Amino acid sequence: MSEPSVGVRRPVWRSAMVGRDPEEGHRAATPLELLFDLCFVVAVAQAAVSLHHALAEAHVGAGLVGYAMVFFAIWWAWMNFTWFASAYDTDDVLYRLLVLVQISSVLILAAGVPRAFEYKDFGLVTLGYVVMRLAMVALWLRAAREDRARRRVALRYALGITVVQAGWIARLALPESTGLASFLVLVAAELATPLWAERSLTTTWHSSHIAERYSLLTIIVLGESILSATVAVQAGLDGEAPTSTMLTIALSGLVIVFSMWWLYFAHPAEKILTSNRVAFPWGYGHYLIFASAAAVGAGLAVSVDHASGKSHLGDFATTTALTAPVAVFVLSLWLVHARPHHPGPLITAAFLAAPVLILATPFTPFPLPLTALIMAALTAASGRGTARTR
């Protein structure tokens, strides 16, 4: 009888939750982690669609703030589980049940996203988020009991997460005028918890496994942007928009998204993830990468709405709704993912010049094709630089 494929294991009722070997060979994402990612993308899609509607209605400021807040909840819950699973994935029955609780909770969060955007009602989003985080507390408490060597680290995580969740619940009772300020305070507390917990001793996360998990979510988020653009173009073609305009948006969008994929995977992350000193800024910086990648889909949808006469935005604001997230993606990708590889002065100059040029395209008659051309040129330059380095 053949052995199960890598990453697929038969769960047992109970196994010891101790730190896994960070040098373990052939460490791959598990089917449960893939299911986890797919369910999180439901929430990402809801956030992107809500951003699209807010921008199309010319509610730019409220839409961007709401998107940043909701996306933080989605990304932070995903990231915390991902790093925990890299160190403590036992894949037994109890572990699976707690992960399924988190998956169910993200669906609750996703259901609350439209209300958060439209009515600034964060009750359902907060409920889903807090339940997810409390499931993580249960996992950390189990790790504290069974991994004696890292008991202090696990207890710090459990305590920090619990205190911050109490803050999120209390925030619902605060007046609306304090909403953004209280959100930023709690975000700072969330971000500080791992830094405090692992100050003296680190968890045994696996660099290749972490790199793969981030790569998989990048692919899924980019795929969501393609889906959003495809649905929008289909709706536009069924309306009265010129076919040539729709084809321009579609082709430009494809080139942009394909270039984003190419640029992200030009540099293998596992080679630089050697310590928490590198891993923390790398992991945290992906908030901008993921959020901007998802926002590109919203920007493409807004462009289609504008071409169809369904948007309240002007020409400049419409094109900026797409070019701005593309520029943020390029710059954040450079700072977080490409720069640590020391690609050389030529590639550095290309990465720094590209966002400036992309942000300038709305001042031209052909902003989307020019943005696509800049992304393609950056991809070509980055590919040549990577080949020379290798």
End-to-end Cα separation, the chain, in angstroms: 41
Rounded Cα gap, residues 341 and 336, in angstroms: 10
Q: What pLDDT score was predicted for residue 341?
A: 81
Rounded Cα gap, residues 250 and 234, in angstroms: 10
Q: What pLDDT score was predicted for residue 200?
A: 83
Q: What pLDDT score was predicted for residue 16?
A: 72
Task: Tell me whether residue 104 is exposed, middle or buried, using C-beta atoms within 10 angstroms of its C-beta: 0 to 12, 13 to 18, 19 or more.
Answer: middle
Three-state secondary structure call for residue 91: coil
| Contact indicator for 21, 204 with CB cutoff of 8 Å | yes
Tokens of 81: 């589980």
Rounded Cα gap, residues 124 and 105, in angstroms: 10
pLDDT tens digit sequence for 103-136: 999 999 999 998 888 888 889 999 999 999 999 9
pTM attached to this predicted model: 0.90
Q: Residue 310: phi, psi to the nearest 5?
A: -105, 5
Total Cβ atoms within 10 A of residue 328:
20
pLDDT tens digit sequence for 332-380: 999 998 888 878 888 899 999 999 999 999 999 999 999 999 999 999 9
**In Å, how far are 50, 178, 233, 334 from 68, measured between CA atoms?**
12, 16, 25, 21
Q: What pLDDT score was predicted for residue 311?
A: 82
Residues of the chain scoring pLDDT < 50: 1-7, 387, 389-390
Rounded Cα gap, residues 36 and 136, in angstroms: 14
Rounded Cα gap, residues 51 and 367, in angstroms: 21
